[in-house]
Structure 1
Amino acid sequence: MATAYIGLGAWCLLHPQSVIALGFTPKYVTMANATTHLFARCFGAQAMTCGLLLGTSEMTAFSFTAFGLAMIPYLGWNFWFGIGPAKGMVNKLMWLDFVGNVFFMSGSLWCANVLREEA
């Protein structure tokens, strides 16, 4: 998980225009400006910080459970912009974000369960 967060975060930080072009519909890509790029870079820096924390911390069953449950709002974001009221802002490629969020949530909860069984 750390590698994914660091890698994708670095992509947002270093090449925000390509992330915006790949993730949003043409209507919103044309509205992108310096502020949009700044927000994408901030998002990338935050993701890299999360990856650094995941990669250097000793994760416990509680940590994995907390991280897994923390993914729930991201699934809400996927719903809101994918099929909910804000549908049409992101393109179909963003469903990969949904798949990744489900993977991170289920993987975290599975790791928490394995660590509890080990204890």
Structure 2
Amino acid sequence: MATPQRLETVRRMQVAMATAYSTMGAWCLVHPSSVMALGFTPAYAAICNSTTSLMMRCFGAQAMTCGLVLGTCDMTPFSFTAFGLAMVPYIGWNYWFSGIGPARGVITKLMWMDFFGNVFFGLGSLYCAKLLREQQDEDMKQDAIAKEE
């Protein structure tokens, strides 16, 4: 992949992840009851009250902050790798509370979208880190060639 294409791919993936984080966070912040009704099984959605609503709004505010930071920072291979690896606990949460894990019956099947989103964030971040590392390697080779001439 040529250099401009590589950097454009990284930027587009970064913007997509930032937009997704910010959008889903805004939904949790603005309308937490709908998120809880869609995401949790009736037994758990029924216990939603002002405290759980506040916690969902806090979660949404944090997600929006993460999206803002992700969308405005110049990410390095290290930061993309760290962000990608930070998705592992979320993937574990999806597994644990889904219909498969030991705490099954807490979240609805619709929450599998969250699982796939977290996998996209994790693998997408690692892919972006790889592209940026390749870019850095190419730049170093070009600098070495320029110094020899």
Identity %: 70
- Which of structure 1's runs of 4+ aligned residues deviate more than 6 A? none
Question: 5+ residue gaps in structure 1?
Answer: none
Q: Structure 2 length normalisation: TM-score?
A: 0.79
The structure that has the greater radius of gyration is 2
What is the correspondence of 1:103-114 to structure 2 with a 5 Å cutoff?
Answer: 103-114=120-131
Once residues 8 and 94 of structure 1 are traced to their aligned partners in structure 2, the CA distance between those partners, rounded to angstroms, is 12
Query: Displacement, 1:117?
Result: 0.4
**How far apart are the structure 1 equivalents of 2:37 and 2:126?**
33
Task: Name 1:20's counterpart in structure 2.
Answer: 36
* Separation in 2, partners of 1:59, 1:21: 35
- Give the alignment's TM-score, normalised by structure 1: 0.98
Unaligned stretches of 5+ residues in structure 2? 1-16, 137-149
Q: Tell me the residue number matched to 1:42.
A: 58
Match of 1:78 among 94, 107, 119: 94
Aligned residue identity for 1:2: A
- Tell me how many residue pairs correspond in the alignment: 119
RMSD: 0.6
Q: What secondary structure sits across from 1:58 in the alignment?
A: coil
Aligned counterparts of 1:80 and 1:109: Cα–Cα separation in 2: 23
